[in-house]
Structure 1
Amino acid sequence: MSGKLYVMGAPRYIFDGLHPELQQRIEYVSSFLNFPKSKWKQITRYLVVGRIPLPKQVLYLWFSAQELNHLLQADAYDRILLYECCNVRALRAIKTLLPKQTVCYIYYCNPIHTIFRQPEKQLKQIHQLGFRLSSFDPHDASKYHLDSAGQYFCYPHDDNTPPAPSSDCFFCGLPKDREEDLLLLRQTMEAGGLKCNFIIPKLPAEKITYPEYLRQLSASRCVVDICQQNQTGLTRRPLEALFYQKKLITNNPHIKEYNFYNPANILILQETPNIRQIKEFMARPMAEIPESIRRQYDINQWIDQFLH
């Protein structure tokens, strides 16, 4: 039976790659479950929300009425997909207002230990509310008894003409626990004559939009992927490299387990970067990856697991 899929917190630039017939089944809802900025609202929400059943008119005090009403339009035949949600009480408050038959998913696209203070306890509570939980990371999925949903991307827009390369190696991402590794790698590459474009924003003003991120990625020969500690699942960078047909340098040894892995295209870093190895890798021609493999990681394939 097919209904609509309400998606909250989705990366819209990637979801724009859905085929028109699938796009018609998607309802996008802006994220509204985060704690409000007002201290008074934070305290009252902590004390009240999720402890007792509340009508939506009362929840308007803490949640956007427009977005809450949008989500609550879902009926018994629809499905809901939430990104990264971790607040048990907020989820309990919302779940009680939805039809019992509505299937609700939560997809975690970051390592579980970076999202929850008490992963086992909190995930169990969310699961008991009736949510179906999945992770991009196979290790987290196994450890916390979640579904393994994998990673995904979308094909570049047809009007995207690849620019001439302006850098050899590109990275863009928050420092997290990897800044020291990133700076050492950039220093090693630049000392070896490679031109690096590393964007590691620490302030909101230093961030760039995702379309601009992809523009700069497409103007580089190679994507750099440094994972967070204890992460086994793919970040989106390997798939960006795959779809934009760029080389990839990564510290994730588990990438060998994926069917698009080819040592001509992907270099797995050792603990200490070896500039000779990197330069030899960059000099090798890329291998062609079959379109049938690339298609397996497309958003149009990935979304199917939440529609049926």
Structure 2
Amino acid sequence: MEKKLLFLSNGRYDLYKVFEEGFKKYSGCEVTTVLYKNYKYKNTWEKVQNFLFKIFLNKNLKKIKASEQNLYGLEDHYDYLVMISAELVLPQHIKKLTQKANHSVAYYWDSFDHIPAAHTIQYFDEAFTFEPKDAKDYNINLITNFYFHEKRVTDYDYDLFFLASYDSRYPLIAIIATALEAQNQKVVIKQYAETLPDVTDAPKSVEFIDKHISFNETKELMRKSRIILDIHKDIQRGLSFRVYEAMGLGKKLITTNPDIKDYDFYNPNNIFIWTPETKSIPADFLNTPYEELPEHIYKKYSQENWVKTLLNIKD
């Protein structure tokens, strides 16, 4: 009988689809996916009732009902439960979910400094994080991100691509974009914000957008670039998906995360670390081809290996 896997996640940027596809492809399980839901008031009375509960009982009925919805329509038994962003589900509902599975796993794709979620660790059989500091501080499993695109191209439309939310990283992004433009590199940088920022001196290569780019479109934009840019957040030390996507697509990487030197795939011919002292990218880095990694290292960071490690599946 085919094993069953219950996968719960938020739907942010459609990234859950990457995990869902990986579980379907590499776990050998029938996968049921549940995206966390928002609760909409049915009438004015529910809104008033929630207000009163928050004031007098310190309870948020809307949050309780939203969390409870994640249990609707599920079967009684699964072989695996995997939850991402478990902090979006109330503890009493996490307990009910874990009781439905032989083995429960939490994966934290944000650092706890960014998204407080450490309180949910206790409800799972195993917990994994990509953030080294969190793994050490909370005694949970460290697992890197992975690549999931492997279809390579040799004809490029531009030299460098970067897509991210508009936030405190922008000034550094502008500096890097300006430096690369001065080196005659064709750069495509898209910055997302719900409300377009009032920036009048942005580099020519930076475009501000107020609509999300689909996952498939982002994939194609990355594929058409020769180099991927990675600007890590100050509270983050673990390596982002961009690092591994560059690896999977055989592209060079410019990153601001100095910790990348500690990884076995680090190769200065493929990876340039931008520091506060950097003024430009060395011509040797820009003009030399990507150097392929040893096969065992390349496979180590594949989505297949990630899924099997998370679920403790032996070949």
Task: Tell me if both proteins adopt one fold, taking TM over 0.5 as the criterion.
Answer: yes
- Aligned-partner residue type, residue 290 of structure 1: P
1:55 corresponding residue in structure 2: none
Where does the alignment leave 5 or more consecutive residues of structure 1 unmatched?
Answer: 52-58, 117-121
Partner Cα separation in structure 1 for residue 290 and residue 306 of structure 2: 26
CA distance in 2 between counterparts of 1:237 and 1:42 reads 41
Match of 2:18 among 13, 19, 26: 13
How far 1:282 moved relative to its partner?
A: 0.6
Contact 2:152 2:250 in 1 (8 A): no
Name whichever of 213-222 and 92-101 sits farther off.
Answer: 92-101
Task: Please list, as runs of the form range in 1=range in 2, the aligned pairs for 1:28-107 lying within 5 A after superposition.
Answer: 28-32=32-36, 35-38=38-41, 40=47, 47=59, 61-63=65-67, 65=69, 67-70=70-73, 72-75=74-77, 78-87=79-88, 90-96=90-96, 98-99=98-99, 102-107=102-107
1:112 maps to amino acid: F
Within a 5 Å distance, the mapping from 1:114-133 to structure 2 comes to 114-116=114-116, 123=118, 125-130=119-124, 132-133=126-127
Taking only aligned residues, the RMSD between alpha carbons, in angstroms, comes to 3.1
Kept after mapping to 2: 8 A contact 1:78/1:103: yes
Write the distance in 2 (CA, Å) between the matches of 1:213 and 1:101: 34
The 1:26/1:186 distance shift into structure 2, 3 A limit, reads farther
Q: Secondary structure of 1:302's partner?
A: helix
Aligned partners of 2:237 and 2:272: how far apart in 1?
16
1:126-167 CA deviation, whole Å, 9 max, x = no partner?
A: 2333453221111221123322122112243xxx56262111
Residue 241 of structure 1 aligns to a residue whose secondary structure is: helix
Measured in 1, the distance between the counterparts of 2:136 and 2:81 equals 23
| Contact 2:106–2:128, Cα closer than 8 Å, also in 1 | yes
**1:299–1:208 distance in 2 versus 1, CA, 3 Å:** same
Residue 66 of structure 2 aligns to a residue whose secondary structure is: coil
Q: By percentage of residues, which structure has more strand?
A: 2
- Structure 1 Cα separation of the partners of residues 307 and 136 of structure 2: 21
Q: What is the TM-score when the length of structure 1 is the normalising length? A: 0.80
Which secondary structure state, in structure 2, belongs to the residue aligned with residue 216 of structure 1? helix
| Counterpart check, 1:217 vs 2:187 | no
For residues 248-273 of structure 1, what are the alpha-carbon distances to aligned partners after superposition, in whole Å with 9 as ceiling and x for unaligned?
A: 00011111122211111100111143
Structure 1 residues 190-201: aligned runs within 5 Å: 190-201=181-192
- Match of residue 152, structure 1, among 146, 156, 161: 146
Question: Are 1:14 and 1:153, in contact at CA under 8 Å, matched by a contact in 2?
Answer: no
Give every structure 1 segment of 4 or more consecutive aligned residues whose post-TM-superposition deviation is greater than 4 Å: 17-20, 41-46
> In the alignment, which of 284, 301, 305 is matched to residue 301 of structure 1?
305
Q: Which residue does 1:236 correspond to in 2?
A: 241
Q: 5+ residue gaps in structure 2? A: 10-14, 195-208
Partners in 1 of 2:124 and 2:292 — Cα distance?
Answer: 44
Number of residue pairs matched by the alignment: 284
SS of 1:113 mapped into structure 2: coil
Give the equivalent residue in structure 1 for 2:275.
270
Q: Give CA-to-partner distance per residue, 1:178-210, whole Å, 9 cap, x none.
A: 122111111121122111100111128432111
Closer, same or farther: CA 129–64 of 1 in aligned 2, 3 Å: closer
Distance 1:249 1:175, change over 3 A: same
